[in-house]
């Protein structure tokens, strides 16, 4: 089968590898319909992570059709149309029951990889997979894109809002205008934020943020951005902050714009070190981590997509075939695509 291989920084390519097989009793083999490139995949592509050359791809988002199931699988069957989350919670440990299946206590291999391929092996799949009603042909392409967003970015944006404790009437600041940050806008609106400020310097992302519910755009960075945000809030600061980048600059900005007693929901993959002295003296709480994809999809997000209440699939602004995977990566690196969708079948 075809699968993406990380050749070296700045280069991925398609190679023919063995089709995955059932290895454990709770495995599921999925024929992938759509996959995509995540902003976190770009860290290694840009040479900022120490990833071995000629290794499996970091892809971790997919929708597709179940092909085989292990003997312990009783929630899905061959032919089911499913969302394959990037996390694999068990559904019954203390973490999962508390709604933090991204940090499942029973599954050490809790994260997907290698999903930019024709077939994938989904581990610990009995509870984690989300079954979509019907078949792919029942839905428009836009709806299929929204389903794909539920495998990571929409759920991650919601996790940022939940862990930031966004509540009705909040002034919420979102740092990061990638797909996760834009889904954070959707999530803040879902949770009742009154004013939603996103930091963005890119016209296409600004337009989509406003469509999703943002009320204000700040184009600056660093001290200028902080000063503008403080002016917007009468020097009070934000009630909640969604940190959706993971860089030293983004986290320091979050700490500077959060008001005393507020919470930062942190979902950007951490790169850099942070001085938390400011958070101590301002009584700022910092929460967040891997998203609770299955919990959010099953409780809120799949229904919201099916009912047309949210349309997170709009973050996919360019489509590519699997053979053009390197172009899909480059389009995101060059900011020509907010998020690149990969059509497999």
79-89 pLDDT tens trace: 999 999 999 99
State in Å, rounded, how far the first CA of the chain is from the last one: 12
Q: Which residue has the higher pLDDT, 29 or 248?
A: 29
Return the CATH number of the domain spanning residue range 156-287: 3.40.50.720
What is the tens place of the pLDDT at every residue in 248-288?
A: 899 999 999 999 999 999 998 777 777 888 889 999 999 99
Cβ-count burial 191-225 (b if 16+ within 10 Å, e if not): bebebbbbbbeeeebbebbbebbbbbbbeeeeeeb
Write out the chain in H/E/C secondary structure.
CEEEEEEECCEEEEEECCCCCCCCCCCEEEEEEEEECCCCHHHHHCCCCCCCCCEECCCCCEEEEEEEECCCCCCCCCCCEEEECCECCCCCCHHHHCCCHHHCCCCCCCECCCCCECEEEECCHHHHCEEECCCHHHCCHHHHHHHHHCCCHHHHHHHHHHHCCCCCCCEEEEECCCHHHHHHHHHHHHCCCCEEEEECCCHHHHHHHHHHCCCEEECCCHHHHHHHHHHHCCCCCEEEEEECCCEHHHHHHHHHHEEEEEEEEECCCCECCCCCHHHHHCCCEEECCCCCHHHHHHHHHHHHHHCCCCCHHHHEEEEEEHHHHHHHHHHHHCCCCCEEEEECC
pTM, entire model: 0.96
Q: Does domain 2-152+292-343 sit in CATH 3.90.180.10? A: yes
**Which tens digit of pLDDT belongs to each residue from 130-175?**
999 999 999 999 999 999 999 999 999 999 999 999 999 999 999 9
Fold match flag (2-152+292-343 vs 156-287) = no
pLDDT for 324: 98
Q: Where are the domains of the chain?
A: 2-152+292-343, 156-287
User: Average pLDDT over the chain, rounded to whole?
Assistant: 96
Cα angle, residue 311 at apex, residues 3 and 249 outer, rounded to 5° = 75
Closest CA to 158 of 102, 110, 208, 231: 102
Band of residue 110 on the pLDDT scale cut at 50, 70, 90: confident
């Amino acid at each position: 089968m075809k699968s993406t291989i990380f050749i070296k920084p700045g280069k991925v390519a398609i190679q023919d590898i063995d089709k995955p097989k059932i290895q454990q009793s709770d495995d599921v083999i999925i024929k992938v319909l759509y996959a995509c490139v995540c902003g976190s995949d770009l860290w290694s592509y840009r040479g900022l992570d120490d990833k071995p050359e000629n290794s499996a791809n970091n892809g971790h988002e997919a929708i597709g059709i179940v092909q085989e199931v292990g003997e312990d699988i009783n929630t899905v069957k061959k032919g089911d149309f499913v969302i394959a989350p990037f996390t694999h919670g068990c559904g019954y440990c203390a973490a999962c029951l508390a709604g933090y299946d991204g940090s499942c206590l029973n599954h050490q291999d809790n994260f997907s990889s290698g999903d930019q391929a024709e077939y994938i092996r989904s581990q610990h799949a009995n509870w984690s997979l989300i079954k979509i009603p019907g078949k792919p042909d029942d839905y428009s392409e836009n709806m299929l894109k929204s389903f794909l967003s539920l495998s990571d970015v929409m759920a991650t944006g919601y996790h940022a809002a939940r862990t930031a404790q966004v509540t009705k009437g909040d002034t919420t600041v979102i740092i990061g205008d990638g797909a996760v940050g834009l889904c954070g806008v959707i999530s803040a609106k879902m949770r009742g934020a009154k004013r939603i400020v996103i930091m963005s310097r890119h016209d296409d992302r600004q337009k989509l943020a406003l469509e999703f519910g943002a009320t204000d755009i700040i184009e600056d960075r660093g001290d200028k951005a902080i000063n503008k945000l403080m002016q917007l809030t009468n020097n009070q600061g934000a009630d909640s902050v969604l940190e959706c980048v993971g860089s030293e600059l983004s986290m320091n900005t979050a700490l500077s714009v959060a008001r005393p007693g507020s919470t930062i929901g942190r979902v950007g993959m951490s790169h850099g070190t942070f001085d938390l002295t400011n958070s101590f003296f301002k009584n700022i709480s910092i929460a967040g981590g891997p998203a609770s994809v299955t919990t959010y999809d099953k409780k809120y997000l799949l229904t919201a997509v099916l009912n047309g209440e949210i349309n997170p699939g709009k973050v996919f602004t360019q489509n590519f075939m699997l053979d053009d995977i390197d172009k899909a990566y480059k389009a995101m690196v060059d900011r020509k695509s907010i998020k690149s969708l990969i059509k497999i079948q």
